[in-house]
Amino acid sequence: MICLDTHALLWWALDPPRLSPRARELCAQMERDGGHASAISIWELGLKIKSGDLEIGISIEDFAARVARTGIVEIVPVTAEIWMENLALEWGHRDPADRTIVATARRFGVPLLTKDREIRRWKPAGAVW
């Protein structure tokens, strides 16, 4: 199992060629074993769509429903436990969405699939690409 960062979720669902070869391998495994993505990723995508910074050809509601229908990726709510994990991270990164995504992966004890170099540099994030 893996946890997908926001861009990895988007690319897996709508633009797989943008994934690295290793990321495609991990997503193929995820398609057999299941995976997770934080609900904050849906929020992040929705904000970018709303502001005009991202166009995906469907509404955020349709995107979330499409992901849910696959039965492959569980969109994990941001629970109090995940917020506590977020707060406990000994990491100077201030972006609340990135911190929450890292906290979600850590809460489930799975690698985080992300292209984000800043996240991958922080070894406790357990990030792969």
Digit-coded pLDDT (tens) for 46-67: 999 999 999 999 999 999 999 9
pLDDT at 70: 96
From residue 53, alpha-carbon distances to 3, 34, 38, 62, 77 in Å are: 24, 30, 21, 18, 24
Residues 20, 25, 30, 32, Cα dihedral to 10°? 150
For 24-47, the pLDDT digits (tens) are 999 999 999 999 999 999 999 999
pLDDT band at 98 (very low <50, low <70, confident <90, very high): very high
Question: What mean pLDDT do residues 96-110 have?
Answer: 97
pLDDT band at 17 (very low <50, low <70, confident <90, very high): very high
pLDDT at 6: 98
Q: What is the CATH number of domain 2-128?
A: 3.40.50.1010
* Mean of all residue pLDDT scores within the chain: 97
The strand pairing partners of 86, in sequence order, are: none
What are the domain boundaries of the chain?
A: 2-128
Neighbours of 65 (CB within 10 A): 11
pLDDT band at 107 (very low <50, low <70, confident <90, very high): very high
